[in-house]
């Protein structure tokens, strides 16, 4: 196995590095596995403790499905995947893609389809009857114009507030998801008055603060208006969105000062270690905290992000294969089939903190948190994440990510709103 590449956004943008990566990839022989035979090269951004363990579940299952298979793990570190996607873009550009890569469905998938980069796997879907084994929304998210281009391995929830029970109790605070954002902010101020940092944040990779802001926007607008933001029928200049931006700036002011130097997993572990009271993060944090030996209910607890109504912020993970220059087609096909095995989905979820995408996967062995997430996914309004490029076009998601970076760097709320309103009219047609 190759050790995961570490690429900073700035370095990845440098033409020299991209050029050398591409050249390196192009020079690889077609069947470069240790066995000299069956190989599968996989790109993902799963490099944290829990992510790497969850990926191991998948590669072990693929190896049992294909005896003699050798795995080339081309993971690129950086939570949320911006670095991995940059490295992948260089590989695609050079005509030397990996055999399969991790991606989010819907908006992010569509960019690869529009670029002619991803293989149509509709035949595999119909041969295996997969559509009938998935919630309708999940199956649809894997399609573009009626054709399937990816397969889902799991469903994450983005808007979860992870909490430290001892710190909350010490401040005499109970987070009530139904009490809304104003009450949350009052609680955080109360914690601050006890001398403890209220919020742990690790936004070295900007998705972490983009996800905090999106949770606040959803909390203030509710699910329906969140969806309307992406059909340009509800404005990023609406009072509820501006309120969420004010909340965001207030909450950022209550976070650890070194947040831009920490990764998402470091921030989550700091919360469980009592360095702060709460951490907003997708439920991959559940997998990571358990991987670090933290006990649910004791070292950490959770609450749905407080808001005007309960919302499930859906972040899907899946894998696709390239439309051209696929080096190992049989192995890639076996990989996609392995991912859709219900037992594999359950075993993966146990490490990852997600829930299986398949409705027939047995989740009885999963944690109490995951049982609750699975129940919520069926019963509360489900929306898709912007911070993870799922709800709309990749271009608009990039505009949002850049606007969050500017805001974090001291940019004004007015500048954020104006960039987003402008993008709504020019990019969401």
Name the residues that contact ligand GAL, by CB under 6 A. Answer: 45-46, 51, 79-81, 156, 264, 284, 315, 317, 388
Give min distance, CB of 169 to ligand GAL, in A. 29
Cross-strand pairs, 76: 5
Do residues 373 and 355 lie in contact, with contact meaning Cβ atoms separated by under 8 Å?
Answer: yes
Give min distance, CB of 17 to ligand GAL, in A. 22
Nearer to ligand GAL, 45 or 149 (CB): 45
Nearer to ligand GAL, 22 or 84 (CB): 84
Nearer to ligand GAL, 79 or 306 (CB): 79
Give min distance, CB of 288 to ligand GAL, in A. 9
Contacts for 387 with CB less than 8 Å, ≥ 6 apart: 80, 158, 207, 210, 211, 213, 214, 397, 400, 401
Angle at 302 between CA 380 and CA 350, to 5 degrees: 85
Give min distance, CB of 332 to ligand GAL, in A. 20
Give min distance, CB of 284 to ligand GAL, in A. 4
Do residues 354 and 287 lie in contact, with contact meaning Cβ atoms separated by under 8 Å?
Answer: yes
Do residues 288 and 161 lie in contact, with contact meaning Cβ atoms separated by under 8 Å?
Answer: no
Nearer to ligand GAL, 264 or 416 (CB): 264
Nearer to ligand GAL, 294 or 328 (CB): 294
Give min distance, CB of 26 to ligand GAL, in A. 28
What would you measure as the largest C-alpha separation in the chain, in angstroms?
63
Do residues 420 and 236 lie in contact, with contact meaning Cβ atoms separated by under 8 Å?
Answer: yes
Give min distance, CB of 281 to ligand GAL, in A. 8
Residue count (the chain): 429
Nearest residue to ligand GAL by CB is: 79
Residue among 131, 57, 129, 100 nearest 343 (CA): 57
Residue among 270, 313, 314, 316 nearest 289 (CA): 270
Give min distance, CB of 241 to ligand GAL, in A. 23
Give min distance, CB of 189 to ligand GAL, in A. 29
Q: Quote the tokens at residue 257.
A: 């000062």
Give min distance, CB of 404 to ligand GAL, in A. 15
* DSSP three-state, residue 219: helix
Do residues 303 and 161 lie in contact, with contact meaning Cβ atoms separated by under 8 Å?
Answer: yes
Q: How far is CA 386 from CA 67, 105, 276, 359, 416, in A?
A: 40, 12, 27, 25, 15
Do residues 155 and 385 lie in contact, with contact meaning Cβ atoms separated by under 8 Å?
Answer: no
Nearer to ligand GAL, 54 or 217 (CB): 54
CA distance 378 to 136: 11
Nearer to ligand GAL, 110 or 327 (CB): 110
Nearer to ligand GAL, 33 or 152 (CB): 152
Do residues 385 and 365 lie in contact, with contact meaning Cβ atoms separated by under 8 Å?
Answer: no
Nearer to ligand GAL, 311 or 349 (CB): 349
Contacts for 351 with CB less than 8 Å, ≥ 6 apart: 50, 53, 54, 56, 57, 287, 291
Nearer to ligand GAL, 33 or 356 (CB): 356
């Amino acid at each position: 196995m190759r050790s995961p590449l570490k690429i900073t956004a700035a370095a990845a943008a440098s033409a020299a590095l991209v050029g050398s990566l591409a050249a390196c990839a192009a020079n690889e022989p077609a069947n470069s596995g240790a066995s000299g035979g069956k190989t599968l090269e996989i790109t993902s951004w799963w490099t944290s403790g829990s992510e790497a363990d969850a990926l191991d579940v998948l590669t072990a299952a693929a190896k049992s499905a294909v005896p003699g298979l050798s795995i080339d793990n081309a993971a690129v570190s950086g939570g949320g995947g911006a670095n991995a996607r940059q490295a992948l873009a260089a590989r695609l550009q050079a005509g030397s893609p990996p055999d399969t890569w991790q991606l989010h469905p819907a908006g992010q998938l569509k960019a690869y389809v529009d670029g002619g980069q991803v293989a149509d796997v509709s035949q595999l879907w119909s041969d295996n009857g997969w559509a009938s084994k998935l919630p309708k929304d999940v199956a649809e998210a894997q399609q573009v114009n009626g054709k399937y281009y990816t397969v889902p391995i799991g469903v994450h929830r983005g808007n979860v507030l992870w909490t430290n029970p001892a710190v909350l109790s010490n401040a005499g605070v109970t987070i009530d998801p139904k009490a809304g954002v104003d009450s949350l902010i009052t609680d955080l101020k109360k914690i601050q008055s006890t001398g403890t940092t209220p919020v742990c944040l690790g936004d070295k990779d900007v998705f972490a603060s983009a996800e905090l802001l999106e949770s606040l926007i959803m909390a203030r607008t509710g699910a329906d208006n969140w969806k309307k933001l992406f059909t340009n029928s509800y404005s990023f200049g609406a009072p509820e969105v501006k309120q969420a931006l004010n909340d965001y700036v207030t909450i950022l002011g209550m976070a650890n000062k070194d947040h831009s130097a920490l990764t998402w997993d470091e921030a989550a572990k700091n919360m469980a270690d009592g360095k702060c009271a709460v951490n907003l993060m997708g439920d991959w944090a559940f997998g990571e905290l358990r991987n670090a030996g933290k006990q649910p209910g004791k070292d950490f607890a959770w609450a749905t992000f407080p808001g005007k109504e309960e919302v499930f912020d859906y972040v899907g993970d899946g894998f696709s294969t390239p439309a051209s220059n696929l080096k190992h087609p049989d192995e890639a096909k076996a990989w996609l089939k392995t991912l859709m095995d219900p037992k594999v989905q359950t075993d993966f979820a146990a490490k990852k903190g997600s829930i299986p995408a398949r409705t027939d996967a047995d989740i009885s062995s999963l944690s109490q948190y995951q049982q609750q997430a699975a129940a919520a996914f069926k019963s509360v309004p489900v929306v898709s994440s912007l911070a993870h490029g799922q709800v709309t076009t990749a271009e608009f998601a990039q505009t949002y990510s850049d606007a969050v970076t500017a805001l974090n760097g001291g940019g004004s709320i007015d500048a954020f709103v104006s960039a987003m309103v402008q993008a709504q009219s020019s990019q969401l047609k």
